[in-house]
Structure 1
Amino acid sequence: MTKRKKELLKEYIPGWSLPPLIAILAVNCLIYWGSSALTAGRYHYDFTTAFDRAVPLLPVFVWFYILAFPFWAAGYVLAARRGKDLFYRFVATDLTIHFICFICFILIPTTNIRPEIAGNTISEKILLLVYSLDGGSSPSNLFPSIHCYVSWMCWRGVAGSEKVPKWYQKFSLVFAVLIIISTQVLKQHYIVDAIAALVLVEVFWRFYQSGQRHNWVYRIFDRGKKNQTL
């Protein structure tokens, strides 16, 4: 790798951001699959409302749903460009919400009834694949929606940043909204799942943006070295 490439890599993914980024990914996997294993066989609640039943199935939105994954990776990496302190506030928000999701998944296991899909179009076939990889006929871990909350975090993480282009900040907001809509029109989540996810982000984003409530992140990842920046 050339010196220039190393400098670019360091600029976009500073070394101090790697441990928390890896931790977030690991925590997400442990919480999602771990809670599913712990609640297997238990009664799962269905929070379907009249509003949810009125929402049409739109398989074409599956593309926004699956493109959420690279969008998340880019959003979380770009959040680190705001500098260590703001990024650690971002990390504190994310890990706190992940913990709350785990508690909800354990205490209130949720599921829904997925629609029958003919599977004739490419979008329908991809949606059937998504269903099969995500619980099949017995989905779980719906409330709150991790898909919605992580997408909203991606916008929150770059909004107002001087080191992220304005066009991307606007794109991030629009794409996050499209992903949230996709969870509804694909019948992956219901409206209460999305609302709960957005409320959690807004509450804890504000909670950690003032004071020093995020200091525990420094103690975990930085051994108290608060003055290091990009």
Structure 2
Amino acid sequence: MSSNCSSKFMKYRPLLWILLIPILNIFYMVLNHDGARVNNLMTDLDAQIPFIPAFIIPYLSWYPFIMIMLIVILANSSKTYYRTFIALCLGLIISYIIYYFYQTTVPRPPITGQGILYSLVRFTYQTDNPFNCFPSIHVLTTYLIWRGALDCNGLAKLMRFFTSFMLVAIVLSTLFVKQHYLLDIAAAIFIAEILYFIAGKCLAVSLKSRKHISRQPNP
């Protein structure tokens, strides 16, 4: 019994690295304010996108979705988990560097409606200042989770469909609750794709190096 518990702990021990995410998030809070110059990346198309309060549901579901899917990916493939997690942390760091040097904002509409959805939007606006927009961390991290899920060969088709659905829903939510612009989304996907590629190459080199060392005869 104790042996089974020990093996399960060892398998899921890499989840402890998730604690690094809230530590990195400290930089988000420090940078989430206006600076000497704040840029607005709104396009004509962004101006045509309506505010739809119902999309606050997938927007807020991002938080548990990321954590749950990291567990699912680890259960399926530790290699894909590390690749996804490394790319995710690098994505956060790069985003914070961009926020420091190129701060952007998204003006928010007045919230006058009543009901739970409007209350959730007001809560989101009150707890998250309208800065740190380019690139969108919501989109960047969700895209990386989606890429990781696609690489998990043993993942059920229903779970793959769910991950794809959540990607679309969360991306759209950032637009419809007026948290991001189209350029924020494009930049997030571009950075995520590059980092996922780099993380894969780095892991491949690391694994190859470990195998080479393990094959060396003991002196």
TM-score, shorter chain, exceeding 0.5: yes
- How far apart in 1 are the matches of 2:9 and 2:100? 39
Aligned to 1:140: 131
Shift of 1:203: 1.6
Instruction: Give the 3 Å change call, closer, same or farther, for CA 176–9 of structure 1 in structure 2.
Output: farther
**Alignment partner of 2:101 out of 102, 107, 111:** 107
Aligned to 1:31: 27
- 1:74-116 CA-partner distances (Å, limit 9, x unpaired): 1122222343333222222112211210111000011121011
Q: Which has the higher helix share?
A: 2
Aligned to 1:43: 37
Aligned to 1:192: 183
Aligned to 2:196: 205
Do 2:53 and 2:117's aligned partners in 1 also have CA atoms closer than 8 Å? Answer: yes
Q: Which amino acid is the alignment partner of residue 87 of structure 1?
A: Y
- How far apart in 2 are the matches of 1:19 and 1:154? 17
Do 1:88 and 1:214's aligned partners in 2 also have CA atoms closer than 8 Å? Answer: no
Larger Rg: 2
Shift of 1:132: 0.9
Do 1:81 and 1:164's aligned partners in 2 also have CA atoms closer than 8 Å? Answer: no
- How far apart in 1 are the matches of 2:121 and 2:205? 39
- Alpha-carbon RMSD across the aligned residues, in angstroms, is 2.8
Q: Report 1:70-89 matches (<5 A).
A: 70-89=64-83
Q: Which amino acid is the alignment partner of residue 52 of structure 1?
A: D
- 1:174-217 CA-partner distances (Å, limit 9, x unpaired): 111100100001100001011111111112212232364774xx
- Aligned residue for 2:22, secondary structure, equals helix
Do 1:89 and 1:214's aligned partners in 2 also have CA atoms closer than 8 Å? Answer: no
- Aligned residue for 2:201, secondary structure, equals coil
Q: Report 1:91-106 matches (<5 A).
A: 91-106=85-100
Give percent identity, aligned residues only: 24
Q: Which runs of 4+ in 1 moved over 6 A?
A: 2-5, 224-227
Unaligned runs of 5+ in 1: 219-223
Instruction: Give the 3 Å change call, closer, same or farther, for CA 33–175 of structure 1 in structure 2.
Output: same
Q: Report 1:215-230 matches (<5 A).
A: 215=206
Unaligned runs of 5+ in 2: 215-219
Aligned to 2:217: none
Instruction: Give the 3 Å change call, closer, same or farther, for CA 174–4 of structure 1 in structure 2.
Output: farther
With structure 2 as the length reference, what TM-score do the two structures score?
0.84
Q: Which amino acid is the alignment partner of residue 34 of structure 1?
A: V
Q: Which amino acid is the alignment partner of residue 24 of structure 1?
A: I
Aligned to 1:18: 15
Q: Which amino acid is the alignment partner of residue 199 of structure 1?
A: F
